[in-house]
């Protein structure tokens, strides 16, 4: 295996170990399942159909609260405790650090989403669930969560304080979310551009069961931009 790939995996493994050895991961998983489960069952009995579209809409809001909480310590804690100096003086490139951290966070988010597979399994047992649409929705949720994770990793890179990282990550995602809600207030010409820039618009488009390359690319590009910003932020100390 390539050495930098091995290092990224080691970094990822270390993050996992911290999540598993501390109450952090368990508290997060239990809280997420409680809140998402509440919205799942309340919608289920309200609508009375084997349909998850309403739940997936709410999921985008839940991710807005939970992903900043999972990402806040990733780099802020390393900077505050001084271990970033240890990490940055190991024979590892900054991009490997960023990707290792991001991959660790991404796998955690994926694990959280995997826990919710219980809901479509229950629904498919109870009624006739459109598995194609649910699969596309899960792909949309993974892509949205991946881009939110990149935003929050960047927030964690620009501060030494975890709480500040949480608030910054949350506010940045909230602004992106509000952008989609404010679209109707703009002129039609501007609306077309804003729809293109709003992650929630792309997410909701995929919830219809339609996987368009433009939607997928939007999330990939957004993730790439924020990972580049994170790299830039970590490298900045060298340029002062």
Partner 1 sequence: MIQADKLSRLYGDKYAVRDLSFHVRRGEVMGLLGPNGAGKSTTMKMLTCFLPPSSGSVVLAGLPLHDDLEVRRRVGYLPEHAPSYIDLNVEAHLSFVGRMHGIPTATLSDRIREMSTLCGLEGRLHQRIDELSKGYRQRVGLASSMLHDPECLILDEPTTGLDPNQMVEIRQLIRRLGEKKTVLLSSHVLSEVDAVCDRMMIIDDGVLGAMGTRDELIGLTSAGLVLHVCMRGNATAVVARIREQYKDCTVDMSDSTDNGLSELVFRHADMNIPLAESVFSAVVAEAGVILDMHMQETSLEDVFHHLTGRPL
CA 184 to chain centre: 26
- Comparing CA positions, the residue from 107, 100, 98 lying closest to residue 233 is 98
Stretch that binds partner 1, among 16-24, 25-33, 158-166, 222-230 (CB under 8 A): 16-24
For partner 1, which residue of 17, 208, 212, 236 counts as binding (CB under 8 A)? Answer: 17
Map the footprint of partner 1 across residues 67-86, applying CB under 8 A: 81-83, 85-86
Which of residues 107 and 113 has its CB atom nearest to partner 1 in the complex? 107
For the chain, give me the number of helices (H) and strands (E)?
Answer: 12, 0
Q: Which residues lie below 8 Å from residue 200, measured CB to CB, with a gap of 6+?
A: 60, 144, 176, 177, 179, 180, 181
- C-beta of 19: minimal distance to partner 1 in Å? 9
Task: Give the number of residues in contact with partner 1, rule: CB under 8 A.
Answer: 26
- Residue from 54, 88, 158, 167 in contact with partner 1 (CB under 8 A): 88
Binder to partner 1 among 27, 90, 190, 196 (CB under 8 A)?
90
- What is the DSSP secondary-structure string of 107-122? HHHHHHHHHTTHHHHH
Nearer to partner 1, 14 or 53 (CB): 14
Sign (positive/negative) of CA torsion 139, 142, 143, 145? positive
| Nearer Cβ to partner 1 (89/187) | 89
Q: Which of 206, 200, 201 shows the shortest CA–CA distance to 133?
A: 206
Q: CB of residue 101 vs partner 1: minimum separation in angstroms?
A: 13
CA 155/CA 166 separation, integer angstroms: 7
Q: Which positions touch partner 1 (CB under 8 A)?
A: 3, 6-7, 10-11, 13-14, 17-18, 21-22, 81-83, 85-93, 237-238, 240
């Amino acid at each position: 295996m390539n050495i930098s790939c091995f290092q990224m995996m080691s970094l990822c493994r270390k993050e996992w170990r911290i999540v598993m050895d501390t109450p952090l991961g368990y508290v997060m998983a239990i809280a997420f399942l409680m809140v998402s489960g509440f919205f799942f069952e309340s919608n289920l009995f309200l609508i009375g159909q084997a349909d998850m579209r309403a739940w997936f809409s709410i999921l985008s809001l839940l991710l807005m609260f939970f992903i900043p909480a999972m990402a806040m310590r990733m780099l802020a804690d390393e900077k505050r405790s001084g271990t970033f100096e240890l990490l940055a003086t190991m024979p590892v490139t900054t991009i490997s650090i960023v990707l290792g951290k991001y991959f660790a966070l991404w796998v955690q988010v994926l694990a959280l989403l995997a826990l919710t597979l219980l809901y479509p399994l229950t629904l498919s047992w109870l009624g006739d669930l459109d598995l194609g649409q649910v699969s596309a929705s899960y792909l949309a949720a993974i892509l949205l969560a991946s881009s939110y994770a990149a935003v929050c990793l960047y927030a964690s890179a620009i501060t030494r304080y975890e709480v500040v990282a949480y608030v910054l990550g949350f506010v940045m995602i909230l602004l992106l979310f509000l952008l989609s809600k404010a679209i109707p207030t703009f002129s039609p010409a501007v609306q077309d551009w804003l729809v293109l820039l709003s992650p929630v618009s792309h997410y909701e488009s995929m919830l219809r069961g339609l996987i368009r390359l433009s939607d997928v690319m939007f999330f990939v590009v957004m993730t790439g931009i924020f990972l580049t910003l994170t790299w830039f932020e970590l490298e900045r100390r060298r340029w002062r």
